[in-house]
Structure 1
Amino acid sequence: MTATGIPPAPAVTERPAHRDGNVLRWLGAYTTSMIGDSVYFVALSWAAARTGSAGQAGLVLAVGAVPRAILMLGGGVVADRFGPRRVVIGSDAVRCAVILAVAVLLLVTAPAIWLLAAVALVFGAVDALFLPSVGALPPRITAPGQLGRVQGMRGLAQRVATVVAAPLGGLAVALGGPAAAFGAAGVLFAVSLALLMAVRVRELPADGAAARGGTARRQLADGLRYIRGHRVLGPLTLVAAVMELGFAGPANIGLVLLADERGWGAAGMAWIVAGFGVGAGLAALLLTVRGRVSRAGAVQSWGVIAGSVALAGIAFAPSVATAAAAGLLVGLCTGLGGALIGALCQTVADPAYLGRVTSVMTLFTMGVAPLSYPVVGAAIGVWGMAPVFVASAALSAAGGVIGLCSRSLRRAELPR
């Protein structure tokens, strides 16, 4: 046991990540945590809808996003200062305790809107600590040459969680109401916590050195300066941010409005979303099997551009089948691009800044990009479906163009 209380991992060898028990424990923890997140959201949605008005239910669901967005960057500072393993275990323990306490409380009393809103606020705040920390762990549990494969495995875990979580949450609600669903989410968080505690990590060179002194604000500013001045991370962050701003609106609210306008209904929208999922799953499987993609910096940029073109094509699809095929191409191209963005971040970032780098990336995908939903919805109402899809896709593709214009990013490679 080290002086910091972190159990050391043995020297990292080039063992394939999919055969490394340590990596598989981390992956299991990540997967069960994601499923728990989704089951929690089902429980919260159902309890809010049954307790208050539609407006109050919407407020409860939205309120959790506020602390997550506001505190996300601070979560990266905390991860770098205290170590991602310690922070991820502590935050997972808090999530488990809070959700199980709510489940017990709902067994003896009816849910109240104020209680559900408070739970959403606490959960969002803890998520702001958990997400940067869990994303900063892979370089500490595997060799650099396996980081691409780990990102592919992480993508597959996301697909599994998407397929499993909603039916599981719905079944729990059907059998025992919100209390059972909250209980199921709490058990999943408990499993995640147990797996995380069994993950062995190693100290990386300069771990924590850039986050030991100074105030949190100074550490955050230092991290942002580091990203901005880095020859690869700076443009890579810009690629991810611009891509998400263009992609998020059409891929979410846009598909709903498109399916309604074309008369495809919920089933048609489900087929398109399924196309997204299959494509993203294939991209993750490709990276998991290969472990490494040559010219990763250029490939991720071209993937963003190709996926953006396919996204624009959905608005012109004459049938559900054509739109689903376009959705598959979107998932395949952007899924590969997104996984390579994550792998490159893990590879090129100084370990002392990795929590802050992860928090910035997560903020754009989970905090800033959803702000485009009402803008896209309003724009479709004014200008129509096709112009808005094309404009959004052009914005998303601009992210890939930015990547290609950066010589350092274009030539960036994953380690062998």
Structure 2
Amino acid sequence: MHFNTTILKNKNFLSYWSGGLISGLGDAMFLLALNWMVVEKTNSGFILGTIMASISLPQILLVTIGGVIADRLNPKWVMIASDAVRGLIMVFLVVMSFDGVPPMWTLFMMAIIYGCMDAVFFPAQSAFQQRLVSSEQYTQSFGLLMISVQVAGIAGPVLGGALISKWGYQLVIVANGLSFVCSILLLLLVKPLPAASADEAEKERLSFLSDIHVGIRYVLKNHLILTTSLSAFLVNACVQATFIAIPFLAKQAHLGAQGFGLMNMGIGIGGAFAAIFFAFIRIQKPTPRMTFLACFFEGLAFLGLVFTRALWPLIGTMLVIGITEAVVNTIAPSVNQKIIPPHLIGRVISFMIVLMSGSEPLARAFSGWMIQWSGVTVLLICTGVLEMVVAVIGYFMPVIRNYASEQAQIMAQDGTMKE
């Protein structure tokens, strides 16, 4: 582990990073607007949870197809096409919101289309990122990407809350649409490293189903990937349920849209601290245990939200959540990209997304129902305790515990073969 800034000289990565920052800022503003629109108009946790579930459900159902597309086609153009469709959806919402809040059916339609685009975007993004930097720079690249996410998480909610308060939802929707245009333009400037070639058997792809089966078989045979993916299934359920609860927590505390934005800003600040660390401190040997440790503290922070309704303690607790989320989203994909073959990454990541995110639609819908019938406090206690239990069990599992020593043996064998 040492200080290193060579990644900042990679112009291709910086162009990609800038596009992610701009589109992330637009998404952060729009997500705040979407949450507050639904809460203000319906005051229904069930409707909000169902809309959020409408984003993740098509993503889960279609992401394996998206993984095959990412491996067959140029991932750069797959990402550009996805951004273009989402930009057009923003245009549609602007037209439908001239009289104020868009009709609920348009929000459901937007959610479904977003989910479909995410299904192809995320596998393509994983394949594309692997071709921008060397393997030694994976944690740094994810750290820099997390900086853009967290900067967007800090500025987006505050800016979005201010725009909603003064000019309404339409300006936020327009801003998000423009962010997709900027992302497309910057992606056009990126020239990634040549793709690693597969063997001849891999090149003979007979059908989508055969390609999907290759990714599924790899995940099921790799016990580390399978264990972390199934653990993430439960952790992501806790995270999504908690995020559904947060706008209702803000409303109960009488914080308003701006207070809700400041709470989200806390997540962004915490994540930015962690992301800056990972961006400039090169960690050459990330391990899954680091991820489980972060999950434990995230669960503890969820429990912390139960004990206060004052703004600043809530912001402080959200800051801790932001740190843990950044650690998980930097270490876990760095480990994955180190062990997954480049020519398989789209298909493998897509099936991992199915396993990891399969709980999200149900968690979002169920959490909305739970808020209606038992309140925010009970939900936060359940999510905090469950995530802590999953983290403790995962941390001590043999396949997780032995990862570092096994990787050291593999590196030693590689070194011997080269000699």
| 1:276–1:328 contact (8 Å) kept in structure 2 | yes
Instruction: Report SS of the residue matched to 1:214.
Output: coil
In structure 1, give the amino acid aligned to 2:218.
Answer: Y
1:186 and 1:281, CA in 2 relative to 1: closer, same or farther beyond 3 A?
A: same
Alpha-carbon distance in structure 2 between the residues aligned to 1:183 and 1:289: 34
Matched, 1:118 2:109: yes
> Which whole-Å CA distance do the structure 1 matches of 2:166 and 2:322 have between them?
34
SS at match of 2:188: helix
Q: In the alignment, is residue 233 of structure 1 matched against residue 228 of structure 2? A: no
Q: Bigger CA drift: 80-89 or 226-235? A: 226-235
Aligned equivalent of 1:408, options 403, 409, 412: 403
Q: Which deviates more from structure 2 when the two are superposed, residues 207-216 or residues 147-156?
A: 207-216
Choose from 393, 396, 401 the match for 1:398: 393
| Contact map agreement 1:76 1:132 (CA 8 A) in 2 | yes
Q: Measure how far apart 1:364 and its partner are.
A: 5.4
Give the C-alpha shift of residue 292 in structure 1.
1.4
Q: Name the % identity.
A: 21
> Which segment is superposed worse, 317-326 or 344-353?
317-326
Q: Contact conserved, 1:77 with 1:219, CA < 8 A, in 2?
A: yes
- The letter of the residue matching 1:238 is L
Distance 1:142 1:297, change over 3 A: same
Change (3 A) 1:212 1:31: farther
1:50-98 alpha-carbon deviations (Å, 9 max, x no partner): 9x86679746565344322322232122111213112112222222234
Give 1:356's aligned residue.
347
2:209 to 205, 217, 242: 217
Secondary structure of the residue aligned to 1:203 is coil
Structure 2 match to 1:137: 128
Change (3 A) 1:403 1:320: farther
Are residues 1:197 and 2:213 paired? Answer: no
In structure 2, do the counterparts of structure 1 residues 34 and 259 end up closer, same or farther at CA, with 3 Å as the change threshold?
closer
**1:238 touches 1:399 (CA, 8 Å); kept in 2?**
no
Distance, in Å, in 2 between the alignment partners of 1:191 and 1:79 is 22
Q: How do residues 308-387 of structure 1 correspond to structure 2 at under 5 angstroms?
A: 308-312=299-303, 315=306, 328-363=319-354, 368-369=359-360, 371-373=362-364, 375=366, 378=370, 381=374, 384=378
1:67, 1:278 → 2: CA distance? 31
* Distance (Å, rounded) in 1 between the aligned partners of 2:86 and 2:298: 35
Identify which of 151, 165, 168 aligns with 1:160. 151
Deviation at 1:247, TM superposition (A): 4.3
Aligned partners of 1:199 and 1:391: how far apart in 2?
A: 42
Q: Is the 8 A contact 2:53 2:361 kept in 1?
A: no
Deviation per CA, 1:345-394, whole angstroms, max 9, x where unpaired? 12221112212333344445655235335556749939957863334421
Is the 2:54–2:361 Cα contact (8 Å) retained in structure 1? Answer: no
For residues 269-290 of structure 1, give each alpha carbon's deviation from its aligned partner in whole angstroms, at most 9, with x where no partner exists. Answer: 8777655443332221111110
Cα shift readout 1:304-353 (whole Å, capped 9, x = no counterpart): 33444454465568987777655544443453233100111122211122
2:236 paired with 1:244: yes
Matching residue of 2:8: 18
Paired residue type of 2:70: A
Superposition TM-score, scaled by structure 2 size: 0.76
Counterpart CA distance in 2 for 1:119 and 1:244 is 22
* Residues 222-278 of structure 1 deviation map (CA, whole Å, 9 limit, x = unaligned): 2011112125433332343343234443x4356667788xx8554898777655443
Distance 1:257 1:48 in 2: 11
Contact 1:297–1:410, Cα closer than 8 Å, also in 2? no
Q: 1:23-51: CA deviations, max 9, x gaps?
A: 1111111122222333444565677789x
Does structure 2 retain, via aligned residues, the 8 Å contact 1:76–1:355?
yes
Q: Shift of residue 131 of structure 1?
A: 2.1
Single out whichever of 199-208 and 304-313 deviates more from structure 2.
Answer: 304-313
Alpha carbons 2:53, 2:364 under 8 Å: kept: no
Shift of 1:208: 9.5
Closer, same or farther: CA 281–67 of 1 in aligned 2, 3 Å: same
Q: Tell me: CA distance 1:256–1:208, structure 2 relative to 1, closer, same or farther (3 Å).
A: farther
CA separation of 1:135 and 1:177: change in aligned 2, threshold 3 A: same
RMSD (Å) for aligned C-alpha atoms: 4.2
Q: Are the aligned partners of 1:148 and 1:340 in contact in 2 as well (CA < 8 Å)?
A: yes
- Counterpart of 1:72 (choices 63, 66, 85) is 63
CA shift, 1:194, in A, is 0.3
**Letter aligned with residue 151 of structure 1:** F
Query: Matches of 1:181 and 1:323 in 2, distance apart?
Result: 25
Q: What is the rounded CA distance, in whole Å, between the counterparts of 1:288 and 1:305 in structure 2?
A: 23
Partner residue of 1:34 out of 24, 28, 33: 24
Counterpart amino acid of 1:215?
S
**Counterpart-to-counterpart distance in 2, 1:275 and 1:364:** 29
- Is the contact between residue 132 and residue 355 of structure 1 (CA under 8 Å) also seen in structure 2? yes
One-letter amino acid matched to 2:394: G
Tell which deviates more after alignment, 144-153 or 206-215.
206-215
- Partner amino acid, structure 2, of 1:35: L
2:396 partner SS: helix
- The match for 1:3 is none
Q: Residues of 1 paired with 2:38 and 2:370: CA distance?
A: 26
Partner of 2:414: none
Aligned to 1:6: none
Aligned CA distance change for structure 1 residues 126 and 258 (closer, same or farther; 3 Å) = closer
SS of match in other structure, 2:359: helix
Q: CA deviation at 1:152?
A: 0.6
Q: What is the aligned residue count?
A: 398
By relative contact order (CA 8 Å, sep 6+), the higher-ranking structure is 2
Rounded Cα–Cα distance in structure 1 between residues aligned with 2:63 and 2:235? 20
Give, as a single letter, the amino acid of the residue that structure 1 aligns with 2:86.
Answer: R
Aligned counterparts of 1:185 and 1:282: Cα–Cα separation in 2:
25
TM-score with structure 1 setting the length: 0.77
**What is aligned with 2:417?**
none
